[in-house]
Amino acid sequence: MAIQSPCIDICKIDGTSGFCIGCLRTRDEIREWKNAEDARRQQIIDACAGRTATLPSTASSAS
């Protein structure tokens, strides 16, 4: 089964971190997602999980 996109339809890149405030992916990761294999998608998901602590306070209040 394909790994589902972490997108939650809050699509805005934080200028300081470079991460989407909704899914925590970078622009490059967002672009890459459609054609990425599951192993790469899992790497992206894992990277996003580690980014939660680096979020600016405005990003964490967006949800």
Q: In this predicted model, what pLDDT tens digit does every residue of 3-54 receive, in sequence order?
A: 999 999 999 999 999 999 999 999 999 999 999 999 999 999 999 999 986 6
Q: What pLDDT, on the 0 to 100 scale, is given for residue 57?
A: 58
C-alpha distances out from residue 43 to 46, 49, 50, Å:
5, 10, 11
Nearest of 6, 60, 61, 1 to residue 33 by alpha carbon: 6
Mention every residue, 6+ apart, whose C-beta is less than 8 A from residue 63. 8, 10, 22
Where residue 55 falls among pLDDT bands split at 50, 70, 90? low
C-alpha Rg value of the chain to the nearest Å: 11
